[in-house]
Amino acid sequence: MSSLLLRIIIFFCVVVLPTIVTLCNASEAERGTVIYQQEALEVYIHASDKENARTLAHFCTNKGRQKGTKYRVNVSFSAAYERRTQLIGSSYTQFVKEKIYPNLIKLCGDIRITEIEMSMTQQGESSGPKRFELMSFAIADEGESITYTNYHLNHIAEAQMTMEEIAALMPENVAHLSPLNRGKVLYEDDRITVYARENPWCLPLKHSRTRPSPNAGLDIVVPVSYSELHQWLKTHYEYFEHKIIKPLIESSCFPGSTVSAKFYQKGKSAYLEEVSYGFKKPKPQAGYAYSSSPRPLVFTVVNRQPGLTREARLASISARKAEREVWNSSCKGIFCWLHGGQYIQAIYDNNLNAIKKLDRKIDNAITLWIRRNLGNDIANTKHQDYSLLPVIADTYLYQYQQYALYKCPDNLLQKTYLYKNPTFEMPDYDGLSMPDMGGEIDSATYVVPTELLPLCDKVCDAFGGNYDRLIINSLNVRPALGTIDGVHELLDEYRCDRPDVKQFEDNLARLTFAYLDNKHAWLTSIEDVSTESLGTPKSDVRVKPIAPPVVDNGSTAKTIDSAESENTQKPKTTEPQRRAIAKRPSSSAPPQATVYQNKTPQINSTAENNNAINYEQMNSEIASLAEKYTARLNTLSQDFQKKVLATADPRTRSKLLAEFQQEMARLNSEARKETEKVKAKYKRN
């Protein structure tokens, strides 16, 4: 009987009493219990349970929290995001002190609160990306002393807010303090002091049963702030990691160890930066000769993270914002916050002039790479202008199925593109051959809206756009790489049925068609191009077929119903557009070497150079040179094949191959020099 009575008392205290308190002091909403409300703003605690009383009991007793005195509330506002500070008032700290802390006490009774986390979001079912901010406040003296200690914002808010807005919200105070009792002094001079954070501070060099904790490492005290740290270390120590850190690690730590080091400004509590020092393989430099032996490890900075100071955090945010603004140009609009958002916004705005200016930057970068790596001859024989539009279109259409398939399941088509690789015979060094090699089939399946199928037929291929992206990846064109990241963000953050997304798709199709129709003169006149030149979307750009369309080669593209799972279909076999795959030689003929010759551009007869140049004769001499060196290279190739077939020793064959490659490179270099001499002769004349 006493046990039953005890259970009733516990139930009343834990469940019934909080419910009564809630009815007296708070109102209920779908998302939780509202503890404070004003015009266009309300503060609530999150409803994590269907039964509100259980939610409140869990919240007020702080079950499951490591620190039993931290409480989190949510602030939701219906005004424009820029007006949220006007709703809160001039001081966030004052808002917490006057509105949140007293209402938490009313809701939960006599509780002890040492920290309040306040998240801020905008009300409404917006189909766009959600900004999110989180602020922390330290509570002392039963709410009389409240200190703003931390500010965190998600990547969307970070990208959309200016640095001035972020700096105004970043607190001066930092909740995390440095250790009061530092460890042993490992190094000291008149400028810095290096402490062991713990003992041991790394994995010991000699065998030990005591292993370092995850917090082990070094604490380094310096006399400068975060903004001065790197230059100060370089000025006074030049190679700080080699002069100070490496000897400490080599004398005390197991070989190959990576050690964390936190830098503190003297007299300050928050660390400036955390740096991981260790060994890693160096990146190959230009002109690096391949070797079968592994490259030696070098001691260097493995990782670098900004610390907890206000200055360090703002510098880190500024660097991330700069990384997003890859085009180094101003931008205003809905998509500007995305990686490479200037290009995506230009598509949305149908700003053809801006797109061509950005394309010019990529085109110049590609030309410069070709000139540095392949020579001026190839760089000067440019056959078309480059644009990022087909790459964006192909990426967007191929990724559409991953991001939008379940958000916009209606009016979709599934289409598979195939490419059959050519067959060839593989010669054997013993005179045998393996016929009918190759013939592999590459395929990629796209799921796109029916109205975007005409665009997909122009840019989609059997490789899912990988070859298109391979160009900008291999050339490391940073603005282009950033813009492709932005395309993924657009699909991830925006609903596919938004009007602005539909407008982006319309303009992407129109602009891509315009480039494909004029890619040989796309960048001829940029400044004179009108942003209205393309007009309104053409009716044939986004066609809405009544019945499943018939592909021109007889295969059908199947319409996907919203309740239908993935369906197979008759694929279309088509050669990928803009691909040039060389056919390999057969066993009946030796491999043929090719000498690349420059197509000399024709110069108008009204050019400023008064010395007439006989281009026909010059081209004839260059063609003769090409024929001469091609014959020499073919002879070299035949001799190489005979020598290889005459020996079975792998080492001898490897040596012959190396000699063949060296001689072929020498002949190609000689051919280029002779060609340049011919050009120079006619230029002088």
SS3 at position 47:
coil
CA distance 592 to 586: 11
Count of structural domains, the chain? 4
Q: Which residues contact 97 (CB under 8 A, 6 or more apart)?
A: 143, 146
Position 606 in a domain: no
Evaluate if residue 529 carries a pLDDT over 60.
Answer: no
In eight-state DSSP terms, residue 97 is I
Give domain status of residue 403, yes or no.
Answer: yes
* 366 and 511 part of one domain: yes
User: Whole-angstrom Cα distance, residue 408 to residue 505?
Assistant: 14
Percent over 90 (pLDDT), the chain: 18
Residue 600 lies in a domain: no
Phi, psi of 205 (to 5 degrees): -65, -40
The CA distance from 260 to 102, in Å, is: 43
Nearest-angstrom CA–CA distance, 520 and 340 = 25
Do residue 84 and residue 64 come from a single domain?
yes
* Residues 433 and 514 reside in one and the same domain: yes
For residue 84, is pLDDT > 60? yes
Distance CA 548, CA 559 (A): 6
What is the pLDDT averaged over residues 244-263?
91
In a domain, 154, yes or no: yes
Residues 564 and 625 in one domain: no
What's the Cα-to-Cα distance from 587 to each of 75, 420, 440, 661, rounded to whole Å?
75, 22, 20, 20
pLDDT reported for residue 248: 93
Q: Are 378 and 474 part of one and the same domain?
A: yes
Co-location of 411 and 508 in the same domain: yes
Position 169 confidence tier, pLDDT thresholds 50, 70, 90: confident
CA distance 402 to 392: 16
pLDDT tens, residue by residue, 348-367? 999 999 999 999 988 888 88
> Does residue 579 belong to any structural domain of this protein?
no
Domain shared by 457 and 557, yes or no: yes
Q: Which of 299, 322, 345 corresponds to the end of one domain?
A: 322
CB 116 within 8 A of CB 101: yes
The lowest-confidence range among 217-231, 292-306, 389-403 is: 292-306
Domain region containing 671: 615-684
Query: Are 229 and 258 in a shared domain?
Result: yes
pLDDT at residue 162 in the model? 82
Are residue 444 and residue 542 in the same domain, yes or no? yes
Is 27 found in the same domain as 163? yes
Domain boundary, last residue among 322, 352, 376: 322
The verdict on 318 and 334 lying in the same domain is: no
Is residue 596 included in any domain, yes or no?
no
Q: Mind listing the pLDDT tens digit for each residue in 580-607?
A: 333 333 333 333 333 323 333 333 333 3
Largest pairwise CA distance in the chain? 119
594 within a domain of the structure (yes/no): no
Mean pLDDT of 377-398: 83
Q: In terms of pTM, does the model score above 0.75?
A: no
Q: Which two tokens stand for residue 425?
A: 């015979």
- 291: Cα within 13 Å, side-chain hemisphere: 8
Both 553 and 663 in one domain: the answer is: no
**pLDDT of 452:** 93
DSSP 272: E
The answer to whether residue 165 is domain-embedded is yes
- Can the peptide bond before residue 102 be classed as cis, meaning omega within 30 degrees of 0? no
Q: Which two tokens stand for residue 622?
A: 């260059």
